[in-house]
């Protein structure tokens, strides 16, 4: 790895940790440089523009979250109700709280019509749907629609109850019951 690539990776790591801890907040180049411990001019030496910085950082975070999913779920296919249970447990786990708050922050920015964040959110969501599609122990015809249903139900609970996810427990339990009855 070249010195330049190593410095880029270091900057991405610092910004990823910052975004997970505090969310997007101020994403101006000066603020990003401050968090990364460099100047805005040096930051733009390592990256062409702010969008490239954000894409690299969010890609790093998304890849890290996929690693978490793989560690939690393994590779054995799951019944949809069991997948819902595990996903909800993970969502409620404080260890993933930062990533989930960031997901809501990204989704909020995308919902306000920001094309950059809209593309990032769609890319991340598609990756998670594809991942979940591969995890479900159902017919191929049912995999994608069930993955989308599960992800939208979990996301919906996060949006409805962002400060107290326990309020979503009953709805998630009902979804598990309905999926068990299929």
Q: What is the pLDDT of residue 97?
A: 85
Mean pLDDT of 9-37: 93
Domain membership of residue 121 as a residue range: 75-180
CA distance readout (Å), 113 to 50, 103, 121 = 18, 16, 12
108 and 159 in a common domain? yes
- 95 Cβ partners below 8 Å, 6+ apart? none
pLDDT in tens, 32-47: 999 999 999 999 999 9
User: Is 66 inside any structural domain?
Assistant: no
Q: How many domains does the chain have?
A: 2
d(CA 96, CA 32): 23
136 and 101 in a common domain? yes
pLDDT in tens, 98-148: 888 899 999 999 999 999 999 999 998 998 899 999 999 999 999 999 999
> Is pLDDT of 11 > 90?
yes
Mean pLDDT of 14-41: 92
The fraction of the chain above a pLDDT of 90, given in percent, is 75
- Cβ atoms of 86 and 68 closer than 8 Å: no
Q: Minimal CA–CA distance to 15: which of 3, 33, 2, 42?
A: 33
Q: Which range has the top average pLDDT, 57-61, 83-87, 95-99?
A: 83-87
82 and 49 in a common domain? no
Q: What is the pLDDT of residue 101?
A: 87
Mean pLDDT of 69-87: 91
Number of residues that make up the chain:
182
pTM for this prediction: 0.85
Task: Write the CATH number for 43.
Answer: 1.10.10.60
7 and 84 in a common domain? no
Report residue 137 as tokens: 């122990």
């Amino acid at each position: 790895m070249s010195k330049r690539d190593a410095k880029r990776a270091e900057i991405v790591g610092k910004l990823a940790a910052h975004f997970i801890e505090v969310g997007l907040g101020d994403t101006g180049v000066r603020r990003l440089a401050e968090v990364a411990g460099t100047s805005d001019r040096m930051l733009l030496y390592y990256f062409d523009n702010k969008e490239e910085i954000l894409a690299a950082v969010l890609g790093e975070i998304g890849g890290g979250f996929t690693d978490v999913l793989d560690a939690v779920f393994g590779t054995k296919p799951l019944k949809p109700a069991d997948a819902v249970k595990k996903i909800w447990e993970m969502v409620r786990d404080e260890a993933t709280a930062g990533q989930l708050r960031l997901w809501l922050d990204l989704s909020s920015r995308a919902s306000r019509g920001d094309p950059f964040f809209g593309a990032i959110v769609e890319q991340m969501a598609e990756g998670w749907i594809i991942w979940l599609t591969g995890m479900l122990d159902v017919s191929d015809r049912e995999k994608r629609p069930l993955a989308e249903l599960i992800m939208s139900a979990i996301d919906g609970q996060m949006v409805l109850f962002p400060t107290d996810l326990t309020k979503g427990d009953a709805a998630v339990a009902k979804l598990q019951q309905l999926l068990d009855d299929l």
